[in-house]
Amino acid sequence: MSQVFWVATVTHMDKNIFPDPERFDPSRFMGQSKSFLPFSYIPFTAGPHVCPGNEFARIEVLLILHHLIINYRWSEMVPDEPITRNPLPYPAKGLPIKLHRLEK
């Protein structure tokens, strides 16, 4: 018996699919003119077993990020923190940040 462990990160980091894949650029997915091959980006899987909470999770994260961006100034606590991949990418020190509430 064999098991296959497919890591989506390999596809997500493919320079043939996503130019400059290591750069954080959410705008790469915006606009009608942006078209990617099917299954080239699948954070919630795909096909008949796609996560039913996909859209809810997306909207929830967008709302939280909007609130944090509008109401806080962010500063890194570890500048130039390296990214570790084992097997998925994550900041080596957990990406500690300081949030400073903006005065309104």
Residue 40 and residue 71 in one domain: no
Residues 18-55 have pLDDT tens digits of 888 888 887 877 765 667 777 777 777 776 667 788 88
Q: Are residues 59 and 44 in the same domain?
A: no
**Residue 39 and residue 77 share a domain:** no
Residue 58: pLDDT band (50, 70, 90) is confident
Determine the distance from the C-alpha atom of residue 100 to the mean position of all C-alpha atoms in its chain, rounded to a whole number.
23
Count structural domains, the chain. Answer: 2
Question: Is 68 marked as binding a ligand?
Answer: no
Cis amide prior to 82 (ω within 30 degrees): no
Q: Is the sign of the CA dihedral 47, 50, 56, 58 positive or negative? A: negative
Residues 99 and 85 in one domain: yes
pLDDT band at 64 (very low <50, low <70, confident <90, very high): very high
pLDDT of residue 67: 95
Q: Let me know: does 102 contact 67? Beta carbons within 8 Å.
A: no
| Whole-number Å distance between alpha carbons of 82 and 101 | 27
Query: Does the predicted model carry a pTM greater than 0.75?
Result: no
Q: Who wins on pLDDT, 49 or 65?
A: 65
Comparing 57 with 31, which gets the higher pLDDT? Answer: 57
